[in-house]
Chains A and B, each alone.
Chain A
Amino acid sequence: MKRSRYRRWPIIAFGCILVFVLAFNPWSLPWVARWLDVGSPPQKADAVVLLNGGLNTRPFVAAALVHGGWAPKILLNTVAAHPSEISGAIPPFFEINSKAFEYGGVSRDRVVCLDSAVNTTFDEAKAVADYLTDHPAKRLMIVTEGPHTRRSRWIFQRVLTGRPVEIVLISAPAEGFENENWWRSEAGFLFVVSEYFKLFYYGLHYSWLGYEIVVSVAVMIFLCTWFLRRRKLYCPRLRLSQSIPARSASEATT
């Protein structure tokens, strides 16, 4: 029994080292970002949905899709006013995106403004769902950076459940990093790691699955505690010195 107790530590140490090596290996690290990227090649669609953010990349991709004839129009949500916008220091995000579309050869009449003042990707999906009530579509292309596509797909599929619309995610290039080298730049590190935190948060906040995960972890902790407790109660190693009185010499001889 004693031997097994001391054997456990090398196994735990080896496991930790293995996890560490696998997690921080240049061979395995790209998979961390690749898993998040569920983007696919463009397909003919009824509209491009441009998610707000990534102003230096995303609108250029949306414009190229419309310019290339993949979709006739761009759906774009307005964003809740930023302090710099309120003070008049910068124009509204909708205007900034529209200027990028014009630069990409897409005229204003091809841009549909969803006046929704959104704050989150979830808000954007809800605004698109509202738009689809009056303007049904068969297929939408959603443009965002690669590592943001998994969460976006999950959100749109959840919000558009029951509607006959196909969702195609288009990965725009991220500023300053790629899936293959995300850990080499601060921008990539912040984007990819924060995306996992956000996925976890969205899982907890918006889905019953999240609560199931929490309950599962709680049950596992309870079972482990219970197992350790039972192990101690029936484990002579732990009980010998504490509760079993030493046998007398006469008992020992009999």
Chain B
Amino acid sequence: MQGNLGAGFGWVLSRRTLIVLAVLLVFALLLGVIPRMLAWPFQAASSSKSADYFCIHGNELSADGFQAYDVAAEWHGKPAGRKILVLLPHVSRIVEIGAVRSFEQTCLSELIKRGVPSADVWPIRADALNVWGEAHALSEWLKAHPESTVRIACSPFSSGQLRYVFRKILGPIDSERVGLAILLDPKCRVESWWQSRAGVKGVMYGWLELIYAWAKGNEAFPEMPDAATFQHEIRTQIGEAPL
């Protein structure tokens, strides 16, 4: 007896094959094989090469990677004399109006709190609005420091896009000098990403970022109006309520 799945397309699967495929599919889902395969771009291990600099990136609200400041401070102390780079993003409106400290100020204070002297923290003024901007800034810095090697702290879910973008911008030779330090959140593991909300969001955004980087390539971010201009524009659009 023959099953008919696919008969409309000119091929036929036997009932036994269909049952075996269905059982395999159920097992694959139950054992998490398929979800784990979905997270393959984010499962790479950290770079094993030694580096002279540890690099932190992010925005005014958080650094990329789990407990990036703790890891950077620990890395700085073993052996002594290592330096920490901070890739500085574009100054956002909430920084401009003083609602939060800038990324540079936050990094400095958090690292000093953990025993890193401020002289060992080197900011790179990237003024970046996205990963492409950060990669360009780091590329310039690497040209000025031809002997240096860098490890960039990141979360597993942003590692796929970072690896792709940095390779694209730095080229095959310079990208060898840049490795990733993937900082795992013990509560949100890549191997079981579907079991937590943060994991599901991480995989979804990780894939979308990667797809966009593959499809669109180097992207220039539009100009952002400053706080005063933005507020004026918004007030003009909204206007006054009728009495």
Contacts and interface: CB of A to CB of B under 8 A. Distances in A.
Interface of A: 5, 8, 42, 44, 55-57, 60-61, 63-65, 67-70, 82-84, 87, 89-91, 95-97, 99-100, 103-104, 119, 173, 175-177, 185-187, 189-190, 193-194, 197, 225, 228-229, 231-232, 238, 242
B106 A228 contact: no
B47 interface: no
Nearest to B219: A186
Contacts of A69: 240-241
A187 B92 CA distance: 15
B216 A82 contact: no
A215 to B, nearest CB: 19
A123 to B, nearest CB: 12
Given A228-B5, A231-B7, A60 B234 contact: yes
Contacts of B209: 186, 190
B93 interface: yes
A189 B217 CA distance: 13
22 contacts: A55-B94, A57-B230, A60-B234, A70-B241, A83-B67, A84-B61, A84-B62, A87-B110, A90-B106, A96-B94, A96-B99, A103-B99, A103-B227, A104-B231, A175-B224, A176-B129, A176-B221, A177-B222, A186-B209, A229-B3, A231-B8, A238-B7
Given A68-B235, A186-B216, A190-B205, A232 B4 contact: yes
Contact of A228 (B8, B224, B230): B8
Interface of A, secondary structure class, is: helix
B100 interface: yes
Interface in B1-45: 2-8, 10, 12
B62 A90 contact: yes
Interface residues of B, number: 51
A25 B134 CA distance: 31
Given A69-B241, A96-B100, A5 B94 contact: no
Given A64-B231, A70-B238, A185-B221, 17 more contacts: A8-B8, A42-B238, A44-B241, A68-B239, A68-B240, A84-B63, A90-B106, A91-B99, A96-B99, A100-B99, A103-B231, A176-B222, A185-B222, A187-B221, A190-B209, A228-B6, A231-B7
